[in-house]
Amino acid sequence: MSESQDEKVTRRDFMKVAIAGMGGTIAVAIGIPAIGYIIGPASQQETNAWIRLGAISKVELNTPTLFKATIDTQTGWINTQEDVSAYVMTENGQDFVAMSNVCTHLGCRIRWIADLEGFYCPCHNGVFAKDGTVKAGPPPRPLDRFETKVENGILFIKRG
């Protein structure tokens, strides 16, 4: 056999290479977006977003005021609505303190009772002072606090 016959590409070999190349191109063109579609939402990190509570004019001086907000959250492919509540207090009308309304003992919702000047947990008789510190009962630590900011007279708390 001569050298020219060894280097000769048959029609069958050419078609194998061409079909394999087209198949690979199609697989990459479909596969990369599909992988991104499947993995994308699961790999997204939840951001510490600011939650709008309401106007600061609703907060009375030295009196905890309950604010409620509903936020939409996405975890992977699941979209849910979550209710967020916080007691907001101010002593001077400019600096605001936002505290969670969830007891640090077992997660029950606390409430402010103005006559007794404290937050009370109905589940296990936990008592918190106006500043959120534990006065009595089983709660192991003070009420959780949120970072706050005010923009154009609207109060926001940082989720996280």
Tell me 58's DSSP state.
Answer: G
- pLDDT, residue 45, reads 56
Confidence of residue 1 (pLDDT cuts 50, 70, 90): very low
Residue 76 has pLDDT above 70, yes or no: no
Report the C-alpha gap between 150 and 105 in whole angstroms.
30
- pLDDT of residue 108 exceeding 80, the answer is yes
CA torsion sign for 38, 42, 43, 45 is positive
Give the end-to-end CA distance of the chain in Å, rounded to a whole number.
77
What local confidence, expressed as pLDDT, does residue 44 receive? 60
3-state secondary structure of 154: strand
> Both 38 and 92 in a single domain?
no
Instruction: Supply the mean pLDDT for the chain.
Output: 83
Together in a domain, 16 and 72: no
Convert the pLDDT of each residue in 45-71 to its tens digit: 555 688 888 888 888 888 888 888 888
Instruction: Encode pLDDT of 133-154 as tens digits.
Output: 888 888 888 988 888 888 888 8
73 and 150 both lie in a single domain:
yes
Assess whether 89 and 146 both reside in one domain: yes
CATH number, domain of 64, equals 2.102.10.10
pLDDT greater than 50 at residue 42: yes
Which residue range forms the structural domain that includes residue 29?
3-43
| One domain for residues 109 and 153 | yes
How much is the pTM? 0.65
Domain match, 82 and 7 both? no
For the CA atoms of 105, 88, 150, 152, the dihedral, rounded to the nearest 10 degrees, stands at 140
Helix, strand or coil, per DSSP, at residue 133: coil
Count the domains in the chain. 2
Question: Which of 20-34, 71-85, 106-120 is predicted least confidently?
Answer: 71-85
Structure token pair of residue 140: 């192991």
